[in-house]
Structures are given as C-alpha cells and as structure tokens.
Amino acid sequence: MPTLDLPAPDPARLAEAREAIAAARRVVVLTGAGMSAESGIATFRDALTGLWSRFNPEELASVEGFCAAPERVWDWYAERREGVRRAQPNAGHEALAAWARAHPGCMCVVTQNVDDLHQRAGQPDVVRLHGDILAVQWLDESACRKRPRCDPAQAAEASPGRPPRCAHCGNLARPGVVWFGEALPTDALDRAQRLADECEVMLVVGTSGAVWPAAGLAGRARRGGARVVIVNPDESEIDGQAHLVLRGTAARVLPRLLGAAVGV
C-alpha cells in the first residue's frame, strides 16, 4: 500500500505543475493501482492473501489457470468484485472528475485499473486498458452457436453456475479483464497511444511503471513534446521520463493540484 505519512509536495513544484496543466489544451491522466489504493482496493498482488496466498498469480489470472480450475478463479474474482462494489471514489478521483467537468473536452483518463471508481466519480472520458472486473465475457467468443450470440452478462445473472455457462452451447463466462498472456484491447491501446501523441501534459498517478505497454505511454508523450508530471508516494520505474515528480498519494496531491481551478 502507498505511504500515507509523506509531507505535502514541494509548493514550487506543485505550482509549476498547476501552471502547466492550466495552460494545456489537452491533458491525459494515466492512472494505476495507487489511484484506488486509498479507496481500499487492494492491488492485484496484495489481493493474494489468506486463502489465495498459496496460488501463483498465473493460476488465478490466465486462461490456463481458469480452464484448470474455473470455480476457483471465478470465486476469487467474485470476492474482488465485492471489494470494488463496497469501495467509494476518493478525493483524487473526485478532483480529476471535477477538473474534467470544468474543462469540457480537455482531459481523458487512461487507466490500468479494472474498477469503476473513475466512472462513479463522474469522469466523462475513461479509456480502460486492462478491462472491467465487474463485466463478464465468454471464454471463447466464437463458440456460441446462437445468432445473435448470447449475452454473457445475462447468462451470469440467470445461471447459478460458478462460473455461469451459456444455456445453448455450454460456453463458460469469465471476468472481463485482461489476463497474463493476453493482449490489451486493440481499440483501447490504439486510443491511449494517440492520446499520448497528442497531449500537452501527461499526468501519471499511482503507477509503478512496471507494466507494459501502459508504462511506455509517459515516454511516448514526452517524445511528442508533452510535459510529464508524476504523482506517486514512492519511486517508480518511469520517474526518469518526468519533468516533475510530486511525492504523495492521489487523494492528497490531486485536490491540491487541481482543486483551485474548480473552486474545491
């Protein structure tokens, strides 16, 4: 979990970042697990505790692991879904959403998170690189023989199975997230890369910079001429791409960075 007892960011650096954002016509925000940590949502690996600590991540987040033990994987994601549903957007989510609403068309959030806290905070434009933990999809999208194809969300509601199966072809429903060994959704990645090329400021919040290709977006934005500002309580693997690093958590730094522009 992020360190919560850091001092407030350096006022001069904060002012410089605030000026860069205020002058930008296009701001892209890249968020990672630290963005939601203060809402009580554990990171992927932090969730591997208790009953789940004896499993390797690939056993719970891969097609192979799901096919080997579908009930086990389904139950783990069901537990994580409940955690997401209980969580509430924190002050960082609220600050981003308020700024975006006050500056229509100027901000897009690209997130590595699979929760829906940005959306519940009212963020108008969110690109989800790693999927949606509250959504379901078919294990084999081409297997359903019915036309039009059955809706996996309806199957999940109607079937008592763990995981649910298609009533017509027996296809298994699975969580709507990107697993190990899977490519990111093409449309989401393409849009994120275009946004990185076009933005004037990229604000990177709560990511370790260890997961690619998302970690490459900051460098891509900088090469395109954008100012890169990182908000993180700890060092990240992409700090070297930043013009400014603000040490602190999302809920503490973002209201200070963005709040004055929207009167909060």
pLDDT tens for 195-228 read: 999 999 999 999 999 899 999 999 999 999 999 9
Q: Does residue 74 sit in the same domain as residue 148? A: yes
Domain boundaries, position 139:
42-86+132-177
Q: Does residue 121 sit in the same domain as residue 53? A: no
Q: What is the pTM of this model?
A: 0.91
- pLDDT number for residue 168: 76
Range with lowest mean pLDDT among 2-11, 42-51, 85-94: 2-11
Q: What's the number of domains the chain is made of? A: 2
Cis peptide before 213 (omega within 30 of 0): yes
Q: Does residue 34 sit in the same domain as residue 61? A: no
Separation of CA 69 from chain center: 26
- pLDDT number for residue 141: 74
What would the pLDDT profile of 133-173 be if each residue is shown by its tens digit? Answer: 999 999 987 766 666 667 777 766 666 678 988 877 788 99
What would the pLDDT profile of 20-43 be if each residue is shown by its tens digit? Answer: 999 999 999 999 999 999 999 988
Burial class (CB in 10 A: 0-12, 13-18, 19+), 95: buried
* Most confident of the following: 53-62, 156-165, 187-196: 187-196
Q: Does residue 53 sit in the same domain as residue 152? A: yes
Catalytic residues: 130
Q: Does residue 14 sit in the same domain as residue 106? A: yes
Q: Treating both helix axes as pointing N-terminal to C-terminal, what angle do 91-102 and 250-258 enclose, rounded to 10 degrees?
A: 30
Q: Does residue 198 sit in the same domain as residue 79? A: no
Kindly report the CATH number assigned to the domain that includes residue 162: 3.30.1600
Kindly report the CATH number assigned to the domain that includes residue 244: 3.40.50.1220
CA atoms within 13 A on the CB side of 121: 27
